[in-house]
Amino acid sequence: MNTIEKMQQIVGSENVHFGENLAQYEIDPSGKYNGSSLAVVRPLNTKEVSAIVKLANKMKIPVIPQGGNTGLAGGCFAGTKGNTIILSLNRMNTIREVRADGRIAIVEGGVILSKLHDAAAEYGLIFPLFFGARGSAMIGGNLATNAGGSNVLRYGNTRDLVLGIEAVMPNGDIVDLMSELHKDNSGYNLKHLLIGSEGTLGIITAAVVKLFPKPKAYATAMISIPDLTYALPILNELNKITNNCVEAFEYMPEKYFNALCERFDDMRQPFQTPAKHGVFLEIGAMSEEDAEPDETGNIPIESKVENLFGTWLESGKILDAVICKSEAQRSEMWERRERAYEVALLKGVPVACDVSVAVDKVHNFLTTVKSRVHSISPNSETLTVSHLGDGNLHVSVWMEPKTKGMGNLEDREKITEIIEETVLELGGSFSAEHGIGLAKLPSMSRRKNPNAIEVMRSIKKALDPNNIMNPGKVIPAK
């Protein structure tokens, strides 16, 4: 019996795909990582995952775990030799339980993020992980990459939203870490070891995640500021007057708004006078006092923010402001930010870096990196959008914007190194929320502490001696 037949015995022949029509599994969203696999296997439960992995480990066949295949760093690349198994979690899509009083949900790894949002909403709760790909990204992938998004400012990364996990290790053993506890000091924290490991140490098949009360009202706005140095004091003051209820604080420069409108016919500038520096913000009010409409029908949190904006306009702290008065307006504002990936492709495939610095060093980074990039590539254009509240910056450099050319490889690599060098000088990280995958292996080699990499290699070798679990990702080769 060959390998494919053995896999068919485990999950059913209809759930083992091979041959043609595997593009949705083998090609990433950018099209950059176009792989070739032996087969795509779709288990229904953790026992089937375990059986498949045991078979793969025995046969020494590489296993590529995959959720929604929405990653941007090549973390699900199947290789080009056609000798890998893509293990898709898309059939493991059950929300096993939502416990409203305990503020938890128990979910399988293949649950689509937006489905969890919908399930939580039925109880007046939220799972506060939000980003543009939420309609196809899956929980297992979110945990594997420790996904970020726009609400990290208030709720933290995915790692901060998880109480427990279930995982299948490289030898096929099932590790039950499905703790529902907020405090558990029983030995090494294997949960946190596996979260963010990008499938190189095991496959996360289920999780216990935290839910939070849905804000009773939102104040959503866009402001235009004279200079980026005004942003952090504004954020701090907003948090002060709202009892730390700022959920999103996103930076978009004038170049981004122009590119957005050029790319999409249905998008428009947020202000009559274009903003050189725009900040999109959202406040989620938790108290009845801030949320209940007054006798005039106004929402108190909106009025509070509007009054503050009036003071700032008079003092010159902000130049303009727009506050959403309907859900349609709120959706439009969110859409401006969430189309950033597509906007970044407007003038060719950019040199793209997902980096982070301390929140009070963002302005310094942007000023420095722009001049350094220009010195290497005078004809290039730099476009940066940022989760400003947590210091995460998405830097895109169009090498030849007029012709949409990619430029030469040497210059692209130089620009990547310049951006990384600037980040390093400021004590930041070359990887903020997209993970390492394949794309950032050179950066890991250049920038990660060598002793830390050796520890990672030791852990990988101990847990996965046959190197079958998503090989070639995250850890640079010697």
| pLDDT tens digits for range 391-432 | 999 999 999 999 999 999 999 999 999 999 999 999 999 999
| Residue 1 confidence (pLDDT) | 66
The pLDDT of 235-245, averaged and rounded, is 95
- Helix, strand or coil, per DSSP, at residue 333: helix
**DSSP code of residue 400:** B
Residues 6+ apart with CB under 8 A from 220: 281, 282, 283, 323, 324, 329, 330, 333, 334
For the cut 70, the answer to whether the pLDDT of residue 96 exceeds it is: yes
pLDDT in tens, 43-75: 999 999 999 999 999 999 999 999 999 998 999
Residues 6+ apart with CB under 8 A from 285: 215, 216, 217, 218, 219, 242, 245, 291, 300, 301
For the cut 70, the answer to whether the pLDDT of residue 153 exceeds it is: yes
Cα 299 to Cα 291: distance, rounded to the nearest angstrom = 6
Cα 360 to Cα 65: distance, rounded to the nearest angstrom = 37
pLDDT in tens, 165-215: 999 999 999 999 999 999 999 999 999 999 999 999 999 999 999 999 999
| Cα 222 to the center of its chain, rounded Å | 22
Question: Tokens 């043609």 label which residue?
Answer: 20
For the cut 90, the answer to whether the pLDDT of residue 337 exceeds it is: yes
Own/partner contacts of 300-308, CB < 8 Å, gap of 24 or more, are 300/217, 301/217, 301/218, 301/219, 301/242, 302/217, 302/219, 304/219, 304/241, 304/242, 305/219, 305/221, 305/238, 305/242, 308/237, 308/238, 308/241
Instruction: Give the pLDDT band (50/70/90) at residue 29.
Output: confident
What percentage of the chain reaches a pLDDT higher than 70?
A: 100
Cα 183 to Cα 208: distance, rounded to the nearest angstrom = 14
The pLDDT of 357-377, averaged and rounded, is 94
| Residue 224 confidence (pLDDT) | 98
For the cut 90, the answer to whether the pLDDT of residue 285 exceeds it is: yes
| 193: number of Cβ within 10 Å | 14
| Residue 251 confidence (pLDDT) | 97
Cα 167 to Cα 133: distance, rounded to the nearest angstrom = 24
